[in-house]
Structure 1
Amino acid sequence: MYQPLDCFPKSWVFKRNDPKVEPADLQEIRLLSEGRAGQVWRDYISEEHTHPDHLTDKDWVKAVKAQVPSGKLQWEKVWDSEQLSLPDEFLSHFAAWGDDTTVFFCCHSDVVFEVKWGVFKRTWKAFLFLDNGPVLVGKKKKQAAQFHSNGWVNLLLRAS
């Protein structure tokens, strides 16, 4: 179900001093096995496409009905700043999530991380070194987000 984080070629993003991921949080960041990652990707992101670059408006992530009105936010300015927490507007979208909510940070069909929401909130800056379209979804939750390398994030709602 999981594989060692060191199997991920870019595991260095979680081992930097800036941003610092505390050892206890690092232990909670789980890289799914390729098989399990593929299943999560198919269940939560797309049955047809394996990478965010290939998603179309037939995939819920790109569908107009999934877009939250006024749900396009700038994340990069906060990421570059000394501020440790995610932007307030972003956190408001996920207000219904408890810190123990299981979330998936889906880079593509072979690379999916599983982590608790509380840990993601503390370590988000490390995750966003991987900013080429990943989708953040919560297990059994409708709120979601897709991060883009241009510094913007789209807040989304999954169909129930």
Structure 2
Amino acid sequence: MAHTYLPLEQYKRKWIFNHKDLPVSEADKALIKPLDQKSSMEVWNKWISNRSSRSEQFAKGDWAAKGDAWSETDHWQSAWDSEDSSMPEILQLHFDWLEEAPVYFCYEKYQVIETTWGVFARNWKCFLFFDDGPLLISPKKKQAAIFHQSGQYQVGSRG
């Protein structure tokens, strides 16, 4: 599936990667690739849900709505608020992905960013300026995470 990307400068949420307190290197910015609406929809329909357009709408039949999809819950907010740039430990341990593994950070059906695991891991705080239920997945792996506005996240596996 060939994707169409928006230049980061044209992405409506580009400010999250240009925040003065959380600088993103130019090398990493080059690997942060927002998908256009059609490509975002294709990724969402294939890997997340072909029924729901946002995580709060997940329903029966969506893998993310299954009780056994999520194995552990932890807090991301305190790590996000700290001076330390490290991801929460449970998040780090759950994903044994290679630095260059492709990942999708899926805000909702029409808002998906493609990047690599390494770029996400270094800049995870920037991605979470919007925390209304985004999911982190990789097309080649089963591990997944969902981030909630409550400051919690869950890790698990896609069905």
Question: Is the partner of 1:28 in helix, strand or coil?
Answer: coil
The RMSD of aligned alpha carbons is: 1.0
1:53–1:6: structure 2 CA closer, same or farther, 3 Å change rule? farther
Q: Deviations over 1:77-105 (max 9, x none)?
A: 0000011110111110002x111110000
Question: Is the partner of 1:112 in helix, strand or coil?
Answer: strand
Higher mean Cα deviation, 132-141 or 52-61?
52-61
Q: Deviations over 1:40-78 (max 9, x none)?
A: 00111101111112112431112112111xx10100100
Contact 1:101/1:139, CA 8 A, preserved across alignment: no
Distance in 2 separating the partners of 1:108 and 1:46 = 10
Distance in 1 separating the partners of 2:11 and 2:33 = 11
Residues 1-160 of structure 1 aligned to structure 2 (within 5 Å): 1-68=4-71, 71-95=72-96, 97-159=97-159
Percentage of pairs with the same residue: 37
Specify the code of the residue in structure 2 equivalent to 1:27.
A
Specify the code of the residue in structure 2 equivalent to 1:6.
E
Deviation at 1:8, TM superposition (A): 2.6
Distance in 2 separating the partners of 1:6 and 1:48 = 31
Question: Is the partner of 2:15 in helix, strand or coil?
Answer: helix
TM-score after normalising by structure 1: 0.94
Deviation at 1:123, TM superposition (A): 0.6
Gaps of 5+ in 1: none
Distance in 2 separating the partners of 1:57 and 1:156 = 17
TM-score after normalising by structure 2: 0.94
Question: Is the partner of 2:22 in helix, strand or coil?
Answer: coil
